[in-house]
Amino acid sequence: MDARATLIYLLRHGEVVGAESRRFIGHLDVPLSARGELQSRTQAARLRGVPLTAIYTSDLARARITGAIIGAVHGLTPIVVPALREMHMGRWDGLTSTEIAQREPEAFEQWMARIGEFPFPDGESVPDLLARVWPAFMTIVAGHEAQSIAVVAHGGPNRVILCRVFGLPLARLLTFEQDYAALTVLECHEGAWRLRVLNERPG
């Protein structure tokens, strides 16, 4: 590893309450489950020896709490960045895919067929998400040259970051798995990126 590189420990928040229902939660402020807190503690222990200089999180509770658990090990208070929050899923927030397919079958079919292109009704498209997340992420990275930092966000933001970093079309965003509390490690030096770890689960 180049000592001049910036290391970004990119995490998805831990499991949320009601995860078993597989609802679209987007901007809904759902808390971590007990398992999600345990997952966060596991990742905190894994990162104990990493010399983190800062930790950033979205403004939603599930990311903030995950970040606080990880940051506590390093004596760091997370810096909240609202632009890192999950994709706004509009009127589908809080619904399961079955409920959406029953209520709006044509729109749901379009959304499934055009991942990365078709916007959530009354919500964001994937390009909207990238336009919000990427500048915030790059501002964070630019402020920590040759340092190690953690960023705790969500499945959607993490996937668009990875697509942008590696030049993949947004329609490929589901190529990157992002499990609850999983860790991805990116290295950045002089505009060049390397993927060191992808979706390392907490246990």
The reply to whether 105 falls in a domain is no
The reply to whether 169 falls in a domain is yes
- d(CA 176, CA 186) in angstroms, rounded, equals 13
pLDDT at 186 over 70: yes
pLDDT at 12 over 90: yes
pLDDT of residue 164: 96
The reply to whether 119 falls in a domain is no
β-pairing, 6-12 with 52-57?
unpaired
The reply to whether 48 falls in a domain is yes
The reply to whether 110 falls in a domain is no
| Among the listed residues 181, 190, 189, 183, the one whose alpha carbon sits nearest the alpha carbon of residue 32 | 181
The reply to whether 112 falls in a domain is no
The reply to whether 117 falls in a domain is no
pLDDT at 1 over 70: no
Please state the pTM of the whole predicted model.
0.94
- d(CA 127, CA 24) in angstroms, rounded, equals 18
The strands making up 52-57's β-sheet, listed across from edge to edge, are: 79-80, 52-57, 148-153, 6-12, 183-189, 192-200
* Paired tokens of 122: 């009354």
On the CB side of 81, CA atoms within 13 Å amount to 25
List, for residues 62-113, the tens digit of each pLDDT value: 999 999 999 999 999 999 999 999 999 999 999 998 999 999 999 888 888 8
Tell me how many domains the chain contains: 1
The reply to whether 106 falls in a domain is no
Chain mean pLDDT for the chain: 94
Q: Which range marks the domain in which residue 60 is found?
A: 6-89+124-200
List, for residues 29-55, the tens digit of each pLDDT value: 999 999 999 999 999 999 999 999 999
The sign one gets for the Cα dihedral 23, 24, 29, 33 is positive
Residue with tokens 């999180």: 57
Rounded average pLDDT over 108-129: 87
| C-alpha distance from residue 120 to each of 13, 17, 20, 145 (Å) | 22, 23, 22, 36
pLDDT at 118 over 90: no
16 phi/psi in degrees, rounded to 5: -105, 160
**Domain CATH for 20:** 3.40.50.1240
pLDDT at 193 over 70: yes
- d(CA 188, CA 165) in angstroms, rounded, equals 10
